[in-house]
């Protein structure tokens, strides 16, 4: 068994892995040509899978004609010998099969497919017993470098060096879904096959929310198809209300004037805190703790110089021409915190439907996710983010972006 494999002018140290995936942080080498992963040495008929050009592989052993490798999803097998590279150059080799490694209409994207089902569980390891780490959205683009050719095979979709591993099953991936295509499929089965009708109209609703167009049509179709069907997760009349509000969004100047008139501010411990005008004296009076920085703050956009915080509030400060002022960067509504917009006092009991009714024409939404997240545009580069859990206000956050 080889302990070192000569690769060009360099020497690669090899180690052994299990089939649950790579070790965190390990550095792979990269294939120079696409090819097949064979289950047994010298048996080029028993296929495990197929890998793309510049697929990351981990060398385990070598023969005169083959390498024994582990591929990204943890499968171990044999590949025909070829030049291996220490770096990726974004190339593909001749004949790479597009049915496995679609690279977009221009042919230069990463090999990718799209999620075909709603809220697909993404797992920490390639097994259905593994912990779910998130849910992939319908039509989410997934870059892949290896396709298992056996039933229920898994593909690796996490970060490059497996520090945050993620896996899904290949059977849930396919070509990109368009609203027009799903609408055609839905109308073809409507009134003929209830199971297929509900599947297609569910896709139709989700794509409409993601694209933020054709929304009212899709929601109306969903309501028609689901008449008499119990679905506690979806309040379709509420969604139709929100879609109707979206249609009323005013022009930019009117939008900005309306937002300014709402006089956004915060109330905590009976003290009113106005954006941009929050002072050090107020923070000290409220006994908030001063800290140098906040972990996981975005690196681009607004970068305040220092902060005050409580368990539920982060106030971000900056200094300009000798004047120090602050803004509420983040607020959780669990201890009497209040956000005021116009005549609406919003605390932890404030209902989502009231928010949509009063401010729907200012909103955009990330609806196909839980909890629900609403955005209000704040100037050219700002965003006010409101999150609702179980129909009640949970958090507020402001963000500035590049």
pLDDT tens digits along 216-269: 999 999 999 998 888 778 899 999 999 999 989 999 999 999 999 999 999 999
pLDDT band at 198 (very low <50, low <70, confident <90, very high): very high
pLDDT on residue 103: 94
What is the residue whose two structure tokens read 């009349």?
A: 237
User: For residue 170, with 0-12 CB atoms within 10 Å meaning exposed, 13-18 middle and 19 or more buried, which class applies?
Assistant: buried
Q: How far is CA 341 from the centre of its chain?
A: 29
Does the pLDDT value for residue 21 go beyond 60? no
pLDDT band at 43 (very low <50, low <70, confident <90, very high): confident
What are φ and ψ of residue 319, in 5° steps? -115, 130
pLDDT band at 20 (very low <50, low <70, confident <90, very high): low
pLDDT on residue 324: 76
Q: How far is CA 51 from the centre of its chain?
A: 25
Tokens of 108: 């230069």
Determine contact, residues 306/321, Cβ cutoff 8 Å.
no
What are φ and ψ of residue 272, in 5° steps? -85, 130
Does the pLDDT value for residue 4 go beyond 60? no
What CA–CA distance (Å, rounded) separates 195 from 172?
A: 18
Determine contact, residues 365/375, Cβ cutoff 8 Å.
yes
The whole-model pTM stands at: 0.70
pLDDT band at 346 (very low <50, low <70, confident <90, very high): very high
Q: How far is CA 346 from the centre of its chain?
A: 28
Does the pLDDT value for residue 402 go beyond 70? no
């Amino acid at each position: 068994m080889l302990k070192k494999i000569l690769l060009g002018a360099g020497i690669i140290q090899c180690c052994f892995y299990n089939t649950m995936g790579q070790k965190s942080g390990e550095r792979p080498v990269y294939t120079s040509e696409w090819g097949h992963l064979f289950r047994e040495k010298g048996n080029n008929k028993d296929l495990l899978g197929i890998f793309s050009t510049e697929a990351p592989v981990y060398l385990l052993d070598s023969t005169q004609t083959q390498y024994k490798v582990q591929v990204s999803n943890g499968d171990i097998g044999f590949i025909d010998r070829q030049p291996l590279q220490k770096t990726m150059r974004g190339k593909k080799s001749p004949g790479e099969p597009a049915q496995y490694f679609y690279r977009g209409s221009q042919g230069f994207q990463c090999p990718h497919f799209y999620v075909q089902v709603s809220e697909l569980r993404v797992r920490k390891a390639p097994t259905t017993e593994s912990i779910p780490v998130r849910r992939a959205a319908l039509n989410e683009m997934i870059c892949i470098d290896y396709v298992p050719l056996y039933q229920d095979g898994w593909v690796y979709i996490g970060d490059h060096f497996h520090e945050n591993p993620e896996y899904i099953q290949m059977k849930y991936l396919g070509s990109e879904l368009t609203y027009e295509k799903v609408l055609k499929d839905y109308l073809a089965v409507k009134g003929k096959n209830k199971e297929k009708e509900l599947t297609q109209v569910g896709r139709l609703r989700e794509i409409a929310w993601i694209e933020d167009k054709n929304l009212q049509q899709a929601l109306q179709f969903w309501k028609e198809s689901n008449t008499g069907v119990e679905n506690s997760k979806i309040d379709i009349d509420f969604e139709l209300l929100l879609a109707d509000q979206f249609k009323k969004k005013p022009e930019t100047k009117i939008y900005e004037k309306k937002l300014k008139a709402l006089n956004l501010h915060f109330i905590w411990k009976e003290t009113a805190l106005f954006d941009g005008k929050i002072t050090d004296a107020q923070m000290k009076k409220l006994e908030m703790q001063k800290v140098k920085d906040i972990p996981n703050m975005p690196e681009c956009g607004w970068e305040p110089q220092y902060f005050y915080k409580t368990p539920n509030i982060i106030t971000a400060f900056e200094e300009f021409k000798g004047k120090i002022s602050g803004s509420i960067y983040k607020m959780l509504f669990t201890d009497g915190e209040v956000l005021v917009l116009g005549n609406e006092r919003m605390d932890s009991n404030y209902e989502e439907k009231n928010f949509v009714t009063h401010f729907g024409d200012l909103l955009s939404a990330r609806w196909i996710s839980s909890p629900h997240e609403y955005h209000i545009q704040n100037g050219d580069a700002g965003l006010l983010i409101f999150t609702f859990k179980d129909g009640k206000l949970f958090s507020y956050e402001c963000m500035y972006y590049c």
